[in-house]
């Protein structure tokens, strides 16, 4: 039995990962440590909540005593650190909690991992640490780290801290840097679910700037498989870029979703650009493909349809979310549209 501490497992990617891995394997025990911020939602984990290889602990990764207690109690051997404040726009509105959770929190986990002699520490990171690309080229693992937003700077700091624990202490650290994820259970502050839900509610679709910023999209189920592979076979001290080579301009995505839902383009509204908005992300995943044999299974054309369908069929899930504090957040960022 492998004992794994998964942090942030009630969020979008973490919950998809836990659902996936517990359905696939019975040789692991997962302790899910999650603070349940606005983005954490235990409804995402309903189908596995009684699994005997799973337990949930509500708590903060910044809390060193709690983290130590969990390492000792569950004999933790592996860490997958998903826990983070994850939204760029929120980091622009206020950055403190980003540095608390993403930097200090990661440091607490690294220190505990070092003291308890863990077998592997997987730091879940992002292509945003590489900054912004022009029209050509892809991010490789060799690119400079030049983050532009408070969010990405906090993720970059965590990456560098994790690598320093490898170099200094020989700690078995691996880092995965993903492109933009989409799929079920994504909080509707991010582009794809926000647009789907606004269309379903006949609300304006706020497209930042000229809508021509490019993101490289990966279906969350393809992400899960990569986490498992890197945890198993990733070389320590290494960074792996992970993306599905699916570049899209934001406006193309919005129009595609409108098309899937059979609505016209009159809902689109170009709004003030995001400050410091990175122009283009595009990721070269050849290292993980060549070294670990990872390839994406899902085609964007189908997976985006499946994602839209999931939101159409799971109105209860997002209606509860958007009826709470989300309204205040939305009005603050977008005005009362
Ligand atoms: P999310 O915001 O949906 O979920 C984050 C989870 O972490 C929530 O459940 C939240 O309650 C928990 N959390 C936050 N602070 C915590 C703390 N201090 N202690 C314990 N739990 C805490 O985020 P996501 O989209 O699932 O992202 C997961 C990870 O993947 C993050 O590290 C993010 O930086 C990274 N990432 C995300 C994407 C993407 O497209 N969403 C892409 C690349 C990398
Ligand atoms: O209302 C919007 N209008 C809009 O035009 C929103 C929410 C976004 N956008 C644009 C901004 C970006 O160019 O869409 C693009 C995608 O935006 P987000 O969904 O906020 O994602 P992004 O900023 O690219 O960051 C995401 O990918 C990398 C995740 O949120 C990060 O956690 C991850 O690290």
pLDDT (tens place) for every residue of the chain, 337 residues total: 899 999 999 999 999 999 999 999 999 999 999 999 999 999 999 999 999 999 999 999 999 999 999 999 999 999 999 999 999 999 999 999 999 999 999 999 999 999 999 999 999 999 999 999 999 999 999 999 999 999 999 999 999 999 999 999 999 999 999 999 999 999 999 999 999 999 999 999 999 999 999 999 999 999 999 999 999 999 999 999 999 999 999 999 999 999 999 999 999 999 999 999 999 999 999 999 999 999 999 999 999 999 999 999 999 999 999 998 999 999 999 986 6
- Ligand 2 geometric centre to CA of 160 (Å): 23
Tell me, what's the pLDDT at 10? 98
Nearest CA owner, ligand 2 atom 23: 88
Six-digit token pair at 173?
Answer: 């650290």
Tell me, what's the pLDDT at 337? 63
- Ligand 1 geometric centre to CA of 263 (Å): 31
Nearest CA owner, ligand 1 atom 18: 101
Q: What is the number of the ligand 2 atom nearest to the C-alpha of 333? A: 1
The Cα 20–Cα 145 span in angstroms is 31
The Cα 95–Cα 150 span in angstroms is 6
Q: Among positive and negative, which fits the CA dihedral 203, 208, 213, 214?
A: negative
Give the mutation target among 180, 207, 276 for probing the ligand 2 site: most ligand atoms within 8 A of CB.
180
Tell me, what's the pLDDT at 9? 98
Q: What is the number of the ligand 2 atom nearest to the C-alpha of 207? A: 5
Q: What is the number of the ligand 2 atom nearest to the C-alpha of 250? A: 14
Q: Which residues are catalytic?
A: 127-128, 151
- Ligand 2 geometric centre to CA of 222 (Å): 19
Map the chain to HEC letters: CEEEEEECCCCHHHHHHHHHHHHHCCCEEEEEEECCCCCCCHHHHHHHCCCCCEEEEECCCCCHHHHHHHHHHHCCCEEEECCCCCCHHHHHHCCHHHHHHHHHHHHHHHHHHHHCCCCEEEEEEEHHHHCCCCCCCCECCCCCCCCCCHHHHHHHHHHHHHHHHHHHHCCCEEEEEECEEECCCCCCCCHHHHHHHHHHCCCCEEEECCCCCEEEEEEHHHHHHHHHHHHHHCCCCCEEEECCCCEEEHHHHHHHHHHHCCCCHHHEEEECCCCCCCCECCECCHHHHHHHCCCCCCCHHHHHHHHHHHHHHCHHHHHHHHCCCHHHHHHHHHCCC
- Say yes or no: CB of residue 185 within 6 Å of ligand 1: no
CB contact at 8 A, 331 and 268: no
Q: Ligand 2 pocket: which residues have CB below 6 Å? A: 86-88, 126, 128, 180, 190-191, 194, 206-208, 213, 215, 250, 274
Nearest CA owner, ligand 2 atom 13: 213
Alpha-carbon torsion, ordered 34, 36, 39, 40, to 10 deg: 60
- List Cα–Cα distances, 42 to 16, 50, 160, in angstroms: 12, 12, 31
- Ligand 1 geometric centre to CA of 104 (Å): 15
Q: What is the number of the ligand 2 atom nearest to the C-alpha of 277? A: 13
Tell me, what's the pLDDT at 324? 84
Closest-approaching ligand to the CA atom of 85:
1
């Amino acid at each position: 039995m492998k004992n794994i501490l998964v942090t942030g497992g009630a969020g979008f990617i973490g919950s998809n990962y836990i659902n996936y891995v517990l359905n696939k394997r019975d040789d692991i025990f997962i302790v899910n440590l999650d603070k349940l911020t606005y983005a954490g939602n235990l409804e995402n984990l309903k189908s596995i909540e009684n699994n005997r290889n799973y337990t949930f602990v509500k708590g903060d990764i910044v809390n060193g005593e709690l983290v130590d207690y969990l390492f000792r109690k569950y004999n933790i051997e592996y860490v997958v650190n998903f826990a983070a404040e994850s939204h760029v726009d929120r980091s622009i509105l206020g950055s403190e909690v980003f540095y608390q959770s993403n930097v200090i929190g990661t440091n607490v986990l690294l220190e505990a991992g070092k003291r308890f002699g863990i077998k592997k520490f997987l730091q879940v990171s992002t292509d945003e640490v590489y900054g912004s690309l022009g029209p050509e080229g892809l991010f490789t693992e060799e690119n400079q780290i030049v983050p532009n937003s408070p969010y990405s700077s906090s993720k970059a700091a965590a990456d560098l801290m994790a690598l320093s624990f490898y170099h200094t202490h020989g700690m078995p650290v691996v880092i995965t840097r993903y492109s933009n994820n989409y799929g079920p259970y994504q909080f509707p502050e991010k582009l794809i679910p926000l647009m789907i839900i606004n269309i379903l509610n006949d609300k304006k679709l706020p497209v930042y700037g000229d809508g021509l910023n490019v993101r490289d999209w990966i279906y969350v189920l393809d992400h899960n498989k990569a986490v498992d592979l890197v945890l198993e076979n990733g070389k320590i001290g290494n960074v792996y870029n992970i993306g599905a080579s699916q570049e899209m301009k934001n406006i193309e995505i919005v129009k595609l979703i409108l098309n899937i839902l059979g609505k016209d383009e009159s809902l689109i509204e170009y709004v003030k650009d995001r400050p410091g908005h990175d122009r283009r992300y595009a990721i070269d995943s050849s290292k993980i493909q060549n070294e670990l044999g990872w390839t994406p299974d899902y085609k964007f054309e189908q997976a985006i349809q499946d994602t839209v369908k999931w939101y159409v069929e799971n109105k209860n899930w997002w209606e509860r979310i958007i009826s709470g504090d989300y309204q205040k957040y939305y009005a603050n960022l977008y005005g009362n549209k």
